[in-house]
Chain A
Amino acid sequence: DTGVSQDPRHKITKRGQNVTFRCDPISEHNRLYWYRQTLGQGPEFLTYFQNEAQLEKSRLLSDRFSAERPKGSFSTLEIQRTEQGDSAMYLCASSFFGSGETQYFGPGTRLLVL
């Protein structure tokens, strides 16, 4: 399978704990996006990378959130001191800049903070 993969698919955690999600994009894609989707809503942009550079962060991304893409391949999204409001589906997408930029989405990581 050469699509976008995300791990884990589901995560249940207690308020105050830290969680980390991983996204593996399609191998030749140089852009990687993180989005968040709450129940019944459309996704919202969080941040994106071109290669290893984080080029934009949404104001939705508080100081408790950090994302990395250290070698320009996989990316991690960490949430520190989770809050119940962080419960959502976290979606990763990748694209190849310059090809018309269709974004290919992973299956998402569903986070539930108790």
Chain B
Amino acid sequence: KNEVEQSPQNLTAQEGEFITINCSYSVGISALHWLQQHPGGGIVSLFMLSSGKKKHGRLIATINIQEKHSSLHITASHPRDSAVYICAVSFMIKAAGNKLTFGGGTRVLVKP
């Protein structure tokens, strides 16, 4: 069982719609990351969170530490937002370094 679960696995939206991707994890973490991966493989870090909320342009990431849950929101979605969005966490285990444990990803397709 993966320690990081994402939902949905796939999401199709019309341009302009509000998109939400969810991530839940099983044990205490030191940080949660939201990553974007475009076709061809390149991964870009969008956010790193340990509490609260962060916003960058049309992207908003929130985390609830007590509920072990995070959401990534895309407002006014655009076809260029089409990508795989991956949630990853680093756990509060000293020996673990800050290696990331990844969710399975959410494939987002925004249609014009």
Residue ID in chain B nearest A101 by CB atoms: B98
Q: Is the CB of B99 within 8 A of A42?
A: no
Q: Is the CB of A43 within 8 A of B97?
A: no
- Whether A50 touches B100, Cβ cut-off 8 Å, given contacts A91-B43, A104-B45, A105-B44, is no
In angstroms, Cα B46 to Cα A102, docked, is: 10
The interface residues of chain B lying within 8 Å CB-to-CB of A31 are 97-98
Chain A window 88-112, contacts with chain B (Cβ cutoff 8 Å), 1 for yes, 0 for no:
0101010101001111110110100
Q: Is B86 an interface residue (CB 8 A)?
A: yes
Q: Is the CB of A55 within 8 A of B97?
A: yes
Which residue of the partner chain, among B35, B42, B98, contacts A108 with CB atoms under 8 Å? B42
Q: Is B60 an interface residue (CB 8 A)?
A: no
Q: Is A48 an interface residue (CB 8 A)?
A: yes
In angstroms, Cα B38 to Cα A89, docked, is: 13
From residue 38 to 72 of chain B, which have CB atoms closer than 8 A to chain A? 40-45, 48
What are 18 residue pairs bridging A and B, where the CB atoms are less than 8 Å apart in the complex? A42-B105, A43-B43, A48-B97, A50-B97, A56-B97, A56-B99, A89-B41, A91-B43, A93-B100, A101-B90, A102-B33, A102-B48, A103-B100, A105-B43, A105-B45, A107-B40, A108-B41, A110-B41
- Measuring CB to CB, which residues of chain A are less than 8 angstroms from any residue of chain B? 31, 33, 35, 37, 41-45, 48, 50, 55-56, 89, 91, 93, 95, 97, 100-105, 107-108, 110
- Measuring CB to CB, which residues of chain B are less than 8 angstroms from any residue of chain A? 4, 31, 33, 35, 40-45, 48, 86, 88, 90, 95-105
